[in-house]
Amino acid sequence: MSARIAVLASGRGSNLQALLDAIGAGRLDARIAGVFSDRPDAAALDRVEPALRWSADARTFPDRAAFDAELARAVAACAPDWVFCAGYMRILGEAFVRRFEGRLLNVHPSLLPRYKGLHTHARALRAGDAEHGASVHFVVPELDSGAVVAQVRIPVLPGDTADTLAERLLPQEHRLVAAVMALAASGRLAERHGQVQLDGQTLFRPLRLDSAGVLHPDSRD
């Protein structure tokens, strides 16, 4: 049976659309079991039928834990095999993370462990980096600190701004998301004791996405 993916999103949902496109093209054997947002006006919700949408304004809850508990109940109700954070802008509390531990993934626009948190493109430029990229990682309670499954890299070009860098990275990020979730949906991906496992073998370095959209072990020295 196709894997069931719950998607958490706060914005326009372009990574959700990448998953929907991969499913439609037969590159991802999965179905979207639900889309969940902390922003009822998030455009991501409009990318799926109403029956698959859940949202609540996090600001109306007494605290983070109360919102996370309600979100966790809603996500669990759709019985997901995987939970994917696709531009979800709230930090998930420890109770939520522990409930879905080992099947909770996030995409982050940097080459982790570099530039956890926000404003990653500007930070890469300020540091004078020669390359930038995106990472898909398992979620742990510490921000952007879980084991990294795979990365995609792009060069930083002369004259790049944070906006141009973000614009060039986004299509590659979409390809990365679809490729990693295809591994997850096929049962090849797992997390054990803080390390990524692929086909039962521990990955000591993140996989790397090539220009054909295929994930390979990173063979660089």
Tens digits of pLDDT across the chain (221 residues): 899 999 999 999 999 999 999 999 999 999 999 999 999 999 999 999 999 999 999 999 999 999 999 999 999 999 999 999 999 999 999 999 999 999 999 999 999 999 999 999 999 999 999 999 999 999 999 999 999 999 999 999 999 999 999 999 999 999 999 999 999 999 999 999 999 999 999 999 999 999 999 999 987 65
- Residue ranges for the binding site for (6R)-10-formyltetrahydrofolate? 64, 89-92, 106
What tokens appear for 63 in the block? 């605290």
Q: What pLDDT does 194 receive?
A: 95
Query: Under CATH, which architecture does the 3-217 domain have?
Result: 3-Layer(aba) Sandwich (3.40)
One DSSP character per residue, 102-132 reads TSEEEEESS-TTSS-SS-HHHHHHHTT-SEE
pTM of the model: 0.97
| Annotation marks residue 119 as catalytic | no
Beta strand extents in 68-204 (DSSP E only): 82-85, 104-108, 131-138, 148-155, 189-192, 195-198, 201-202
Residue 128: per-residue pLDDT: 98
Q: Spot the catalytic one: 108, 121, 132, 174.
A: 108
Is the sign of the CA dihedral 166, 133, 46, 94 positive or negative?
A: negative
Every domain of the chain and the residues it spans: 3-217
pLDDT given for residue 218 in this prediction? 85
pLDDT of residue 220: 65
Taking the chain, what is the end-to-end CA distance rounded to the nearest angstrom? 40
Contact 10, 90 (CB under 8 A): yes
Binding residues: 13-15, 64, 89-92, 106
